[in-house]
Amino acid sequence: MASEAVVTLTQENFKQTVLEADKPVLVDFWASWCGPCRMVSPLIDQLAEDYAGKAVVGKVNIDEQGPLAMDYNVMTIPTIIVFKNGEIIDQVSGAYPKAHFEAMLQKAL
């Protein structure tokens, strides 16, 4: 079950939620059929809980939001991108331990 702290990102809310956010935003580009995405998903949910109020954590389902994935040249999933003030400050593709994603977010705080 997904965490309530995680924002489902779409074409409609991406600009406001991510690019205009006053906090760092970690975005997980994923798909339901992707094994590594399923491994990373609970870690992203935990980060959303851990960083509630300090950062925004969101997920983009690339099957539903293809143009959004293309906007950020997402070729491999999962791709995790950290935004700050509307700019990309960090990005990785693949399954990593929670500590790796945490370090990415810490840099942005």
- Name the residues annotated as catalytic: 34, 37
Q: What stretches of the chain adopt beta strand conformation (E)?
A: 6-8, 25-30, 56-61, 79-84, 87-93
Give CA–CA dist 109/105, Å, rounded: 7
Query: Taking the alpha carbons of 27, 32, 34, 35 in that order, is the dihedral positive or negative?
Result: positive
Q: What stretches of 9-72 adopt beta strand conformation (E)?
A: 25-30, 56-61
